[in-house]
Amino acid sequence: MSTIYNLKREAAKPPRLTGGHRLCAGCGAGIAVSGVLRALEPEDRAVVVNATGCLEVSTFMYPYTAYTDSFIHSAFENAGATCSGVEAAYRALKRRNKVDGTVKFITFAGDGGTYDIGFQSLSGAMERGHDMVYVCYDNEAYMNTGIQRSSSTPMFARTTTSAVGPAQSGKIQPKKDITDILVSHNVVYAAQTAPIGTMKDLHTKSHKAIYTEGPCFLNILAPCPRGWDYPMELLPELVQLAVDTCIWPLYEVEEGEWRITYMPKKKLPVKEFFRVQGRFRHMFQKGNEWMLEEAQAHVDQKWERLRERADL
Ligand SMILES: Cc1ncc(C[n+]2csc(CCOP(=O)(O)OP(=O)(O)O)c2C)c(N)n1
């Protein structure tokens, strides 16, 4: 099994999330998920567990499926538990020589299903040490039900439940740091990545997560053209801006060792990322400069903390 990334080789593999699904043009989730599944070695099978959300309603509408692997639609609350249960059953069958080949276990859930509603079952599955990967595609709100704020929504972002007006300026609270929380579960591998550039970062981390034995967690930035309010063709630039502003740093934590996997050549001001999205438009109105300053200070502080942890 080769761990050296080769774009040509990966792109030539048959897709395991096939075309014809109903995700929006310009959505980051579909690219993220197909990128994760592409990291599976062709001879291995997978069981994909998916919590309710945009991904699930768009890629699996019974009797249709966009997956070439087995798929379980799980409730919001228990995607982690469902995946860990199937993994435990597999191990029991394997011990009795009742299954051939290798099967990998991957859960996909949005930030609502991960940071909030499915958190207890994710926490339990990771703590029990199941051999599975839990992947959060983080679009920073409950998009499927009409763009409601989640604990992943960044401060100041406008959603349908964090309004912008005289009484409130978008979401009041800062974004929860779920990757850090998962690191505290002592998972064997945790990483933050994004569908970016040649997809090398996403591929390498997905491969590591799938083929490292034990509980692994990936948090993947997945921009949403409807919720973030950007023109669909802007997706690649938007992801690049998220990492170059250090709003979404790319890093991994392996057995407690923190490593930054992308260092921006020039760290850009956060307003470059905000400027291209309607959900932050109010931050550019006269009198609201303090919001940009506060957001910048918050990102700088988190970036410094990450650099310290990575010994940089
Ligand atoms: C317990 C429960 N509460 C609420 C819902 C309604 N619901 C279905 S999808 C969804 C939004 C999912 O948000 P997220 O997990 O962030 O995924 P996204 O749709 O953004 O991809 C909600 C609130 C539900 N299915 N189950």
- 228 burial type by CB count under 10 A (0-12 exposed, 13-18 middle, 19+ buried): buried
**Chain segment 31-76, per-residue pLDDT in tens:** 999 999 999 999 999 999 999 999 999 999 989 999 999 999 999 9
Closest CA to 257 of 169, 201, 183, 204: 183
Residue 149 has a pLDDT of 98
Asked whether residue 2 is domain-assigned, the answer is no
Residue 291 lies in a domain: yes
In a domain, 198, yes or no: yes
Q: What is the mean pLDDT of the chain?
A: 97
Question: What are the tokens at 138?
Answer: 């983080």
Between the CA of 227 and the centroid of ligand 1 the distance, in Å, is 14
126: CB partners within 8 A, 6+ apart: 80, 134, 182, 185, 187, 215, 217
Task: Tell whether ligand 1 has an atom less than 6 A from the beta carbon of residue 107.
Answer: no
1 within some domain: no
Residue 243 is assigned to a structural domain of this protein: yes
**Residue carrying structure tokens 């989730």:** 29
How many distinct structural domains can be found in the chain? 1
Distance from the alpha carbon of residue 190 to the mean position of ligand 1, in angstroms? 24
Average pLDDT of the residues in 101-108 = 98
Mean pLDDT of 254-261: 96
Dihedral over Cα of 297, 302, 308, 312: its sign: negative
pLDDT score of 74? 97
pLDDT of 4 = 81
**Residue 258 belongs to what domain range?**
7-309
Please report the atom of ligand 1 found closest to the CA of residue 224: 20
Cβ-contact 206, 197 below 8 angstroms: no
pLDDT at 1 over 60: no
Taking the CA atoms of residue 236, residue 38, residue 21 and residue 274 in that order, the dihedral angle to the nearest 10 degrees is: -20
Mean of pLDDT values over 193-222: 97
Q: Is the CB of 193 under 6 A from ligand 1?
A: no
What are the tens digits of pLDDT across the range 113-163?
999 999 999 999 999 999 999 999 999 999 999 999 999 999 999 999 999
Q: Indicate whether residue 168 lines ligand 1 (CB < 6 A).
A: no
Answer whether residue 155 is part of any domain: yes
Asked whether the predicted pLDDT for residue 3 surpasses 90, the reply is no
Cβ–ligand 1 contact at 110 (below 6 Å): yes
* Residue 271 forms part of a structural domain: yes
Measured at the CA of 217, the angle between CA 212 and CA 219, to 5 degrees, comes to: 135
Q: Quote the pTM value.
A: 0.98
Strand 251-254 versus strand 216-221 pairing type: unpaired
User: What is the CATH classification number for the domain harbouring 57?
Assistant: 3.40.50.970
